[in-house]
Each structure stands twice: as C-alpha cells, then as structure tokens.
C-alpha cells in the first residue's frame, strides 16, 4: 500500500480510520514504515472517535416537543383567517399578490400624473395673468400737478410684484391730489376730495379694450385697444380715468 | 386511509396540512422532526434552543408553505432553509444575552451513569466531546454546516447538498477542508502529555 492510496482512502470516507480496513496487514505494514501516514491515521482516528462520541451524545427528542408542536398546529389552524383556508394553492396567492402590487403601482402613477397636471395648469394660468398684467400696465411719467405738495409727500414704494411685472415701464410718479383734477381730463370713478382721498396718488397708463371704455373715442373699432391714465389712490383704488388715445 | 396518507409525498402532505388535515400533518412531522432537531441541536449547542427551532419551523412552514416550489428541490431543503434562518436569528439574539456558563455542564454531569462504566473514563470522554464541540463551533459557518449535516446528522452528500442548495462537489470539498481545520484545532487544544523522565534503574532504591 502507498501513501497516496491511504490518503485517497481517507478522503472518500472520513470515518475510515475506525474501519476494519485499517486493521489489515498491508495497511499496518505501511503505517509502521511511514511516519507521516502514521500521524495522519492517528489524527483521523481521534477525529472520527470524537465525532462518533458527539453523534452519540445527542439528546433524544423530548415527547413534550411533539405535544407542543401538535398544539401549535391546532391553534394555528383554528385561528388562521378563512381566506387562507380557501386559497391553499401557491400560484393563486402569488397571482393575487402580483395583482395587488400592480394595482398599487397603477394607482401611484395615476395620482402622480394628476398632481403634475394640476401643477402645470396652475402655472399656465399664473403665466397668463402675469403676461396680461404686463401688457396692460404701462405707466408713463406724468407732469406733476402740484410740485410743492408732492415734494412734501413721501414717495410711496410699489409692491414687488408690480415692479417685476412692469420691467420696461418708467416708474410712476406720485402726485398730490390736485384741486381741479377732474378738470384736467380725468373722469371721476368715485367721489373724492381732500378729506376722503388724502396723500399722493399714482398715475398709471393702462391699455384697455376700447369696448370696455364707454366714454373713449367712438371712432375706434370694438376690437382695438385704447390707452388710458388711471389715477390710483394710496389704498390701491382707482379714483379717476383719462383716455389718452 | 393512513397508508394512503403515508405514501404521499412531502409536498402533498404539506398542502393537506395547510388545508387543516391533521392526519397529513402528523406523518410530515414524523419524517422531518428527527434530522431537524439534531441539526438545530448541533448548530445551537443547546437542547432548549433546538426545541424552540423545531416548533418555530413548523409554524413558519404552515404560514409560508405557499412559497415552497417543488421544482426547486425537496421539502426538507426548504424546511432546513427556514431552520437555518431561525438559528441565525437565535444566535444573534444570544450573542447579546449569553447564557450563564455551567448549565450545560451540570446537565452533562447529571447524565453520568456511575454503574455503566468507570467514572473517570466518562469524564475523559465528556471532556473530549466538549473539546470537539468547541472546535466545531469555532469553524466558519459553511464548514460547520457540512460537518453537522454529513458527520453528525448522518446525511449523504446528495442530501446535504439539497439542504444547503449547493453542488455535491462543493459539499465534498468543504467537508475535506472542514476536517483538516478541525484536526488542526483539536491538535492545538490537546493538552501536552507530561513526558516521563527516563531516570534509569540506578535511582531506584528498591
């Protein structure tokens, strides 16, 4: 017997060291001569003996375990939902699960689309309003009706939104309420005197459809636009209007 | 009727058990319980944990039995997979709260049979078993599993391969390496025998 044969023998069966083959004459003869094989057999014998001891040392299954497993089984069967009883097949449950997932994903996609549509609709309406405002509001400088009283009045700051929307427009000039402002071409839109309309007013030039201005020039078509100066008070309410063209 | 149930495959028994047929559950349990218990015992090193694993495995099998697909392997492989996951969870839990040492040793001492063999021989044997158990526990997980399945649970290479979801050749090579590592560890832990000094006869006074 050779060392190779002995190693192959141990590789095939790990409990070979305690097999009767190891007691054969040829085996023993080689082991006596070869120190390496002798050590290998010694190691393998010890390992096999220990593993056998460990295998035998395993405790027996307690009878109480059988009882508790059976009790668990019964309680599980009695407590489980009816739907599980009705659907024991694996494929059916899998299909149901897949259907639920698909429905959830579809719902999420639809909801996200609706939200996006709503947001884009909101944006477009805001854009429309702002462009309209830009075309309408074109304030022009106006000669001061009363330069002395205007110097005494503080310059009123315009709100940011208006400033942004009227980029190319010249700033409006605050004017004090003139005594005879109705005689300077403005038509009163509401009652106004020094007491009820204190402070400076802004004159803003706007573009309006001619049809909206009943007192404008009659020669223009209904689809044309007319420019008008609007006298706006500090409270933002228009006090008077004058059609320019 | 009982014979008909006994002759059914594991997959069929599982389906019937899940439908509430207790007469199908009992033979299925009988087929799986012994190797499962031994595997859990050797993996956890504790009888109480092994019992816990066996109970939980069967509950989990009933709950998740729908996931089992016969095309992917036999039911015992599926069951051992559940057991492996549970054992991993138990070991993680017990690494936080480690049991007091000595309980297992006390249990082993109570198992000693004074009349059957020499007490000292039993103690030496128990020490040897403990040494091997410690050495196996210190092996990497994939080596420990093959040793437990092939050497301790007495499964064939093919059976072990189906339980660990790998090839038979992998089991063979892992087992060889595991044995080599185990032998080395046992050699390291072996206490050196005190050598008798060759004193000669001249020192003998008699």
The residue ranges of every structural domain in chain B are 2-93, 103-188
Interface membership of A55 toward B (CB under 8 Å)? yes
> Are residues B44 and B50 in contact, defined by beta-carbon separation less than 8 angstroms?
yes
CA distance B175 to B81: 19
* Integer CA distances (angstroms), A216 to A69, A220, A232, A243, in order: 97, 9, 19, 6
A194 band by pLDDT with thresholds 50, 70 and 90: confident
* Integer CA distances (angstroms), B139 to B91, B174, B182, in order: 15, 12, 8
Whether B2-93 and B103-188 share one fold: the answer is: no
Greater model confidence, A31 or A63: A63
ipTM of the complex: 0.72
| Lowest-confidence segment of A6-20, A58-72, A230-244, B160-174 by average pLDDT | A6-20
| Lowest-confidence segment of A82-86, A119-123, A231-235, B19-23 by average pLDDT | A82-86
CA distance A153 to A151: 6
Greater model confidence, A18 or A69: A69
A106 band by pLDDT with thresholds 50, 70 and 90: very high
Of A62, A73, A93, the CB nearest to B25: A73
Per residue in B24-54, pLDDT tens?
899 999 988 888 999 999 888 888 889 999 9
Burial of A64: CB neighbours in 10 Å, binned 0-12, 13-18, 19+: exposed
Query: Which of A17, A42, A61 to probe the B interface (max B CBs under 10 A)?
Result: A61
Nearest CA in chain B to A87: B19
Per residue in B170-181, pLDDT tens?
998 998 889 888
Q: Find where tokens 């024991």 sit.
A: A88
Per residue in B120-155, pLDDT tens?
777 777 777 788 888 888 899 899 999 898 888 888
Q: Within 13 Å of residue B154, how many CA atoms lie on the same side as its CB?
A: 8
A133 band by pLDDT with thresholds 50, 70 and 90: very low
Residues of A in contact with B175 (CB under 8 A): 14
> Are residues A240 and A188 in contact, defined by beta-carbon separation less than 8 angstroms?
yes
- Cα(first)–Cα(last) distance of chain A, in Å? 124
Put simply, the answer to whether B175 touches A14 (Cβ < 8 Å) is yes
Interface membership of A172 toward B (CB under 8 Å)? no
Dihedral pair phi/psi, residue B148, rounded to 5°: -65, -45
Residues of B in contact with A43 (CB under 8 A): 183, 186-187
SS (H, E, C) A131-198: HHHHHHECCCCCCCCCHHHHHHCCCCCCCHHHHHHCCCCCCCCEEECCCCCCCCCCEECCCCCCCCCC
Residues of B in contact with A55 (CB under 8 A): 151-152, 154
Put simply, the answer to whether B132 touches A54 (Cβ < 8 Å) is yes
Please provide the CATH number assigned to the domain covering B2-93.
1.10.1740.10
B103-188 fold? Arc Repressor Mutant, subunit A (1.10.10)
**Is the C-alpha dihedral spanning A102, A103, A108, A114 positive or negative?**
positive
Tokens of B190: 């072996």
CA distance B37 to A65: 10
> Are residues B178 and B147 in contact, defined by beta-carbon separation less than 8 angstroms?
yes
pTM value > 0.80:
no
A121 band by pLDDT with thresholds 50, 70 and 90: confident
């Amino acid at each position: 017997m050779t060392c190779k044969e002995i190693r192959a023998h141990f590789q095939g069966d790990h409990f070979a060291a305690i097999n009767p083959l190891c007691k054969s004459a040829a085996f023993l003869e080689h082991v006596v001569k070869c120190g390496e094989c002798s050590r290998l057999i010694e190691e393998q014998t010890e390992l096999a003996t220990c593993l056998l001891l460990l295998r035998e040392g395993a405790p027996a299954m307690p009878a109480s375990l059988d009882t508790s497993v059976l009790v668990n089984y019964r309680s599980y069967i009695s407590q489980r939902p009816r739907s599980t009883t009705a659907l024991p097949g694996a494929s059916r449950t899998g299909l149901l699960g897949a259907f639920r997932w698909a429905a959830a994903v579809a719902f999420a996609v639809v909801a996200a689309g609706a939200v996006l549509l709503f947001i884009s609709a909101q944006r477009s309406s805001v854009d429309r309003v702002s462009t309209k405002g830009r075309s309408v509001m074109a304030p022009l400088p106006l000669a001061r009706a009363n330069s002395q009283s205007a110097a005494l009045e503080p310059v009123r700051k315009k709100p940011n939104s208006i400033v942004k929307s009227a980029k190319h427009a010249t700033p409006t000039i605050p004017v004090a309420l003139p005594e005879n402002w109705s005689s300077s071409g403005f038509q009163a839109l509401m009652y106004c005197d020094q007491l009820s309309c204190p402070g400076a007013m802004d004159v803003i030039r706007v573009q309006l459809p001619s049809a909206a201005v009943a007192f404008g020039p009659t020669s223009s078509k209904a689809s044309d636009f007319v420019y008008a100066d609007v006298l706006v008070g500090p409270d933002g309410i228009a006090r008077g209007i004058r059609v320019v063209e | 009727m009982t014979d008909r149930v006994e002759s059914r495959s594991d997959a069929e028994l599982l389906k019937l058990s899940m439908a509430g047929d207790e007469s199908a559950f009992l033979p299925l349990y009988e087929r799986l319980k012994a190797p499962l218990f031994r595997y859990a015992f050797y993996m956890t090193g504790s009888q109480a944990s092994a019992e816990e694993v066996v109970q939980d495995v069967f509950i989990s099998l009933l709950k998740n039995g729908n996931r089992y697909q016969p095309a992917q392997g036999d039911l015992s492989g599926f069951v051992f997979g559940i057991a492996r996951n549970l054992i991993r969870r138990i070991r993680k839990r017990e690494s936080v709260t480690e049991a007091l040492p000595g309980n297992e040793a006390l249990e082993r001492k109570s198992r000693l049979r004074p009349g059957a063999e020499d007490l000292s021989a039993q103690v030496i044997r128990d020490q040897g078993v403990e040494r091997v158990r410690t050495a196996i526990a210190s092996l990497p997980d994939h080596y420990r599993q093959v040793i437990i399945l092939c050497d301790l649970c007495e499964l064939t290479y093919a059976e072990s391969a189906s339980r660990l979801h790998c090839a038979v050749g992998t089991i063979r090579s892992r087992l060889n390496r595991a044995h080599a590592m185990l032998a080395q560890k046992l050699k390291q832990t072996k206490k050196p025998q005190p050598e008798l000094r060759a004193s000669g006869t001249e020192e003998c006074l008699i």
